DNA sequence: ATATGCAATCATTTTACATGATATCTTTTT
DNA sequence: AAAAAGATATCATGTAAAATGATTGCATAT
C-alpha cells in the first residue's frame, strides 16, 4: 500500500465513481479500475460495492480517514520544505568563550525577535571543538576570534573588529609600571592573550604573572580594585574610564586589533534561517567581507 | 514524493549510511543513492550532507518527522483493516416500526455490551425504504416482518416467530362479538393487519372499523378500557390475561403467525462486526434458517 | 426496448525502478 | 606517503509495474 494507491482510493471514494476519479486525477479509467482492484487484492478485502458507481464498504470507510490524513501530511511536508521564505527549523550556532559575552547576546536576541519560529541553539566551546563540529555539520556556523583555519572547507567572514587596550587602576603612571602587575586574563588559548604576549615580547617585557578569570566583569572589577591589569576591548571599559575609575593605554594596532569571524562549512545548506542570521550579523556590524 | 521515497529516506537518515540503509531495505546501494538524489531533485533541496556517510541537513531534519509519522500511519491503516477478528467500525441496522419495540432493544443492548467498539446505528422506517437502503448499501441489514421480496439481491433469515391473538375486554363473549368493535391497529402496511384482514375475509366478516395507534402499550390499554379490540403478539399480553384484565381468542396459524426476518444484501461485506451481530441474533432466538 | 452511463478486461506501450559493474572520494592503516 | 578500506556517485542494462486505448458487459434510465 503506497501513497499513490491511497490518492486514487480517496478520489474514487469521494467521487463515488471511477470515471470521475480518473478525470480528476488525469488518468484513464481502466488504470483507476486496475489500481483499486490491486489495492483490494493487496489488502485482501473489498473496499467498494459496485452498484453502477462505487460505494464504500464498511472496511473502505475504515480506510478513508487514514488515506485522508496520510495525503494531508504528504502535502504538509512538501509545503514545510518548500516554504523556504519563512525561516523555520533549528539553527545551531557555536561561539568561542571569548566572543559569547559581548555582541552575541544582542545578535541572538534581535534574530529571535525577528524569526521566532527558528529554534536557536548556542554551543560555547573551544575554537578547535567548534571547527570539528562545523566540519562534521553539527553546527551551522560559529563565532571565533582567530582566523586562517587551514581547512579549505571552512569559509570565514569578518563580522567585528575591536580595539583592545591595556587597562590599569587610575593611579598607574605608565605602561611599563602597569605591566609589572599581574595580568587578569582568560585561560590559555584565548587569542587576546596571544596578541598580548607577542607585544610584551617585542617590548622585551618578561616575567609576566597571570591571574585567570573567565568573566569580563570580574576582570574589570579586579582592575579597578588595583588587583592587577588587563587587556580588554576598548568599548567594554569606556564608561569606566570617563568616570575616572580606571586608566587605559593603547598599544600598536597589529597587536591591539581583535577580529571576530563567523565561520561555517563551505557546503552548509543555505537555509533561509541561516541566510537571515547572516543578514542579522551584517546589519549589526559595519564590517563585513568574505575571506578565504 | 511517494511513501516509498520516504521509507528509503527514513532508513538513510536513521542509519546515517546509504550502504546500511540499502542492506536493511533489501536494495542494492546504487538504487538507494538514486532514490535519494531523485527525492532531493523533486523537492529542490538538499537533504543530506555527504561526508563519508550521510548527515541530515536542517531541511532533512524538517522532513524526517513527517516521514516517520506518515510511515507509521500506513502501518496503522494496514493493521486496522487486517485486524478483522476484533469487530470495529460502523454497523448500520434498520428496523420496521413493527419490530423495533420488542426484541430489538435487547439484541442491540447485548451486542453493544459484547462489542463496544462498534458504532451501532438504528434507522426505523417503512419496509420499502429499508429495502431501498439495503439495495443501495446504506444499511448493513434490517429487521422486517413480511417475507419474499422479489429482489434476488436480498437474502433473508428468519429470526423470530410470534403467535398473534385477537384480544378484547374480559366481558366479551365470543370472537364474532369482538369483531364488531373497532380494531385498534397500526397504520396501513403493517403486516399484522394484512394477516388479520385475510382471516376476517375468510370468515365473511366485513364492515370493519379501525382506530390507528402506533404504540403497542396504548393499544393494550385501549382494549382493557373496552375502547375496541386488537390483534397483537401473545407474549405481549400474557401477563394481563392471567390477571383477568383482558381476554384473548386464537385464530388459525396461517393467519396468526407473525415472522420477523433479518434481511441484507447478498453482496454485503461480511465484516466481523456484522458476523457477530448475526451470531447475537441467532443466540437470542430459537429459530433460524436461511431462506431464498 | 433501446440508449446511456459506468466498470471490467486485455493487449500494448511507456515509465520508473532495480541491478551490477565501475569510478571517485574520504578516512584509516601500514 | 602510500596503500587499503569504506563510502557514495555514475552509467548501461534489465525488469516489473503503471498507464493507455479499444472493447466488452452490466445496470439504470427513458
Q: What is the DSSP string of A203-227?
A: HT-----EEE-S-HHHHHHHHHTTS
pLDDT computed for residue B150 by the predictor: 64
Tell me if chain A has a CB within 8 Å of the CB of B3.
Answer: yes
| B267 contacts in chain A (CB < 8 Å) | 49
Which residues 31-60 of chain A have a CB within 8 Å of chain B? 43-46, 49, 51, 55, 57-59
Could you tell me which residues are beta bridge partners of residue B10? none
Is B178 in contact with B209 (CB distance < 8 Å)?
no
CA of B135 and C1' of C4: distance in angstroms? 22
- Cα separations in angstroms, B94 against A29, B123, B214, B276: 35, 5, 18, 16
Proximity of residue B267 CB to strand C below 7 A: no
Residue of B nearest to A274 (CA): B58
Query: What average pLDDT does the segment B174-184 reach?
Result: 88
pLDDT band at A100 (very low <50, low <70, confident <90, very high): low
Is A163 in contact with A277 (CB distance < 8 Å)?
no
Could you tell me which residues are beta bridge partners of residue B210? B183
pLDDT band at B292 (very low <50, low <70, confident <90, very high): very low
Strand D bases contacted by the protein (CB, 7 Å): 6-12, 18-23, 26-28
pLDDT computed for residue A150 by the predictor: 63
Query: What average pLDDT does the segment B139-165 reach?
Result: 82
Going by C-alpha positions, the residue among B273, B289, B275 that lies closest to residue B87 is B273
C-alpha–C-alpha distance, residues A179 and A229, integer Å? 7
Tell me if chain B has a CB within 8 Å of the CB of A77.
Answer: yes
Which residues 130-169 of chain A have a CB within 8 Å of chain B? 135-137, 140
Q: What is the nearest CA distance from B60 to chain A, expressed in angstroms?
A: 9
Proximity of residue B34 CB to strand D below 7 A: yes
Return the beta strands (E) in chain B as ranges.
48-50, 54-56, 89-95, 118-124, 141-144, 154-168, 183-185, 210-212, 230-233, 247-249, 257-265, 289-291
Q: Which domains does chain A have, with CATH numbers?
A: 3-81 (1.10.10.10), 86-160+258-289 (3.40.190.10), 162-257 (3.40.190.10)
Instruction: Among B120-124, B197-201, B282-286, name the most confident range.
Output: B197-201
Interchain contact, B82 vs A3, CB within 8 Å: no
Going by C-alpha positions, the residue among A40, A160, A168, A44 that lies closest to residue A107 is A160
Please state the pTM of the whole predicted model: 0.76
- Measured in degrees and rounded to the nearest 5, phi and psi for residue A123 equal -110, 120
pLDDT band at B149 (very low <50, low <70, confident <90, very high): low
pLDDT band at B189 (very low <50, low <70, confident <90, very high): low
Interchain contact, B81 vs A59, CB within 8 Å: yes
Interacting residues of B134 by C-beta distance below 8 A, sequence separation 6+: B94, B141, B142, B154, B263, B264, B265
Amino acid at each position: 500500500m503506497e501513497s499513490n494507491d491511497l490518492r486514487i482510493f480517496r478520489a474514487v471514494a469521494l467521487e463515488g465513481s471511477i470515471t470521475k476519479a480518473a478525470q480528476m486525477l488525469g488518468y484513464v479509467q481502466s488504470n483507476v479500475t486496475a489500481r483499486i482492484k490491486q489495492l483490494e487484492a493487496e489488502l485482501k478485502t473489498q473496499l467498494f460495492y459496485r452498484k453502477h458507481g462505487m460505494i464504500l464498504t464498511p472496511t473502505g470507510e475504515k480506510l478513508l480517514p487514514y488515506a485522508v490524513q496520510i495525503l494531508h501530511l504528504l502535502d504538509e511536508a512538501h509545503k514545510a520544505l518548500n516554504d523556504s521564505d519563512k525561516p523555520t527549523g533549528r539553527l545551531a550556532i557555536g561561539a568561542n568563550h571569548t566572543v559569547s559575552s559581548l555582541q552575541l547576546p544582542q545578535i541572538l536576541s534581535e534574530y529571535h525577535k525577528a524569526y521566532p519560529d527558528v529554534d536557536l541553539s548556542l554551543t560555547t566551546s573551544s575554537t578547535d571543538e567548534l571547527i570539528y563540529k562545523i566540519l562534521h555539520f553539527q553546527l551551522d556556523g560559529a563565532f571565533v576570534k582567530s582566523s586562517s583555519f587551514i581547512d579549505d572547507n571552512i569559509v570565514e567572514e569578518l563580522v567585528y573588529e575591536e580595539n583592545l587596550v591595556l587597562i590599569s587602576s587610575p593611579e598607574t603612571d605608565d605602561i611599563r609600571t602597569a605591566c609589572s602587575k599581574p595580568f587578569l586574563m582568560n585561560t590559555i588559548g584565548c587569542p587576546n592573550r596571544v596578541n598580548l604576549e607577542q607585544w610584551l615580547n617585542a617590548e622585551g617585557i618578561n616575567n609576566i604573572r597571570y591571574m585567570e578569570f573567565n568573566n569580563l566583569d570580574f576582570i574589570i572589577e579586579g582592575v579597578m580594585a588595583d588587583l592587577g591589569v588587563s587587556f580588554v576591548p576598548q568599548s567594554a571599559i569606556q564608561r569606566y574610564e570617563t568616570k575616572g575609575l580606571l586608566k587605559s593605554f593603547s598599544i600598536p594596532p597589529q597587536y591591539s586589533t581583535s577580529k571576530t569571524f563567523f565561520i561555517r562549512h563551505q557546503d552548509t545548506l543555505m537555509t533561509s534561517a541561516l541566510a537571515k542570521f547572516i543578514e542579522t550579523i551584517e546589519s549589526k556590524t559595519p564590517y563585513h567581507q568574505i575571506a578565504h
